[in-house]
Every structure is written in C-alpha cells, then in structure tokens.
C-alpha cells in the first residue's frame, strides 16, 4: 500500500451502499435548493472544470473579482446555503475527532473530463480542525504531497464510499484530482463523481 503523509486517516469503503445512496439523496436536495454553479479563478477568470455548491452556514466560492473566500450566500441565487444534512454531521462526529461542528460542506461535481490542479486549502481562519472528504460515484486518481508544492506526491485511487480525514500536518498538504475513471460506479444515474468536504472555517471563540 502507498505510504500516505502523516496526519492522513484513510478509511476505504467506510460508507456501504445504503449509506452512499442516502447521501446522494441528501445531496440531490441540497443541489435542488443551491444549484451547482461554474466557479471562476481569481484574476484570470478561467472557468474551473469542477461544478460546485455548498451547504452549511458558510460556503467556499471563487470568482474573477472577489477571489477565493467563504460566504454565507450562493453566488448566483443570493440565497443562504441549505443546512448540512444530519447524516453528514453524524459522519463528522464519528471520524473528525474534533470538538466543534463543521461549518461548511463544499460539494464538488466532476464529469468525466473534470480535474483539479495541485493546491493547498488555506482560506480557513483555523487549521486546527481536520478536513473530512467523502467520495461518491465514479472513482478518481487523487494526488497528495507535502506542505511545499515541490514535495514528492503519491497518487491514490479513491472509490465511492471512501472517507479520508486530513488532519495534523496533512492539513496544509498540496493535493489535487488528476482524473476521473468514467463508468467505474453506478451510484450516480448519469455518472460522474461527487466529493464532499466538511470543514471548520472560523476559529471557535475562547471561553
């Protein structure tokens, strides 16, 4: 097995078929209220190939003028994000090993051509909490390295139902999605891959 960076807790097949199907129904309801939109890179205005939406009190968005940020409203509809479905809150409580609840759940949809370049997640005000990732639908080749862009990377095939927790020193690791494996899952009727990331965005205030 590939050696993963310290701080990564990989749980292949953590979600069984029924749990995966239930999450897909939850996400269909989220997307009905907060439609997938086309995120655009800061400054260049280049469209990303991944389609995105969010649930939670805060959602991650990007556009040409405003750049990468969290905000409480959908950039297209202007409505508040729908709440994080209870079964995702329960999953966080089960695997995150963190005292505070997630504030954001980013929903990434990949069609067969979509990918995500190597990047760090550092738009959050605290890195104390881990990021919890859930893969649904078609498999992908996921790549993760270290805290420097030039660090050696390892690739991993993520399958539907896999859950990964990125905590500790892996929280600032560079990572990306090289490719989707079309037709590798029948979970989504029209194919593609959904990735959910549960995150803490703000630092909890001290008592």
| Residues contributing to the site for Fe ion (CB under 5 A) | 121
Which of Fe ion, ligand MD3, none does 160 bind, CB closer than 5 to 8 A by kind?
none
Closest separation between CB of residue 58 and Fe ion, Å? 16
Q: Are the C-beta atoms of 164 and 157 separated by less than 8 Å?
A: no
* Residue 171 DSSP label: G
Hey, which residues does 19 pair with through a beta bridge? Answer: none
Closest separation between CB of residue 10 and ligand MD3, Å? 11
Which of Fe ion, ligand MD3, none does 106 bind, CB closer than 5 to 8 A by kind?
ligand MD3
74 or 143, CB closer to Fe ion?
143
CA pair distance 207, 204, nearest whole angstrom: 9
* Residue 12 DSSP label: T
CA pair distance 82, 202, nearest whole angstrom: 18
Closest separation between CB of residue 88 and ligand MD3, Å? 14
- The 10 Å CB-count burial string (b at 16+, else e) for 147-173 is eeeeeebeebebbbbbbbbbbbebbbb
Closest separation between CB of residue 207 and ligand MD3, Å? 28
Closest separation between CB of residue 8 and ligand MD3, Å? 8
Which residues have a Cβ under 8 Å from the Cβ of 54 and sit 6 or more positions away?
A: 34, 60, 61, 74, 81, 104, 105, 106, 107
Name the closest residue to ligand MD3 (Cβ). Answer: 195
97 or 205, CB closer to ligand MD3?
97
Which of ligand MD3, Fe ion, none does 187 bind, CB closer than 5 to 8 A by kind?
none
29 or 119, CB closer to Fe ion?
119
14 or 175, CB closer to ligand MD3?
175
Q: Are the C-beta atoms of 83 and 104 separated by less than 8 Å?
A: no
Residues in touch with ligand MD3 (CB under 6 A):
106, 108, 116, 121, 131, 133, 166, 170-171, 173, 175, 177, 195, 197
Which of ligand MD3, Fe ion, none does 163 bind, CB closer than 5 to 8 A by kind?
none
Structure tokens at 54: 């969010």
């Amino acid at each position: 097995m590939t050696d993963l960076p310290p701080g990564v807790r990989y749980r292949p097949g953590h979600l069984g078929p029924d749990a995966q199907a239930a999450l897909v129904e939850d996400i269909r309801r989220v997307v009905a209220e907060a439609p997938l939109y086309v995120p655009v890179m800061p400054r260049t205005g280049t469209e990303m190939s991944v389609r995105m939406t969010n649930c939670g009190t805060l959602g991650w968005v990007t556009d040409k003028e405003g750049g990468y940020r969290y905000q409480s409203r959908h950039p297209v509809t202007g409505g508040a994000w729908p709440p994080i479905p209870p079964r995702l809150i329960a999953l966080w409580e089960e695997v995150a090993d963190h005292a505070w609840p997630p504030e954001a759940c980013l929903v990434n949809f990949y069609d067969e051509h979509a990918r995500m370049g190597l990047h760090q997640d550092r738009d959050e005000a605290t890195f104390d909490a881990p990021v919890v990732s859930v893969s649904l639908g078609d498999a992908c080749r996921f790549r993760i390295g270290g805290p420097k862009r030039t660090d050696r990377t390892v690739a991993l095939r993520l399958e539907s139902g896999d859950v990964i927790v990125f905590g500790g020193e892996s929280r600032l690791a560079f990572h990306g999605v090289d490719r989707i494996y079309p037709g590798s899952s029948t979970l989504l009727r029209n194919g593609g891959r959904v990735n959910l990331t549960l995150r803490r965005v703000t630092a909890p205030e001290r008592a």
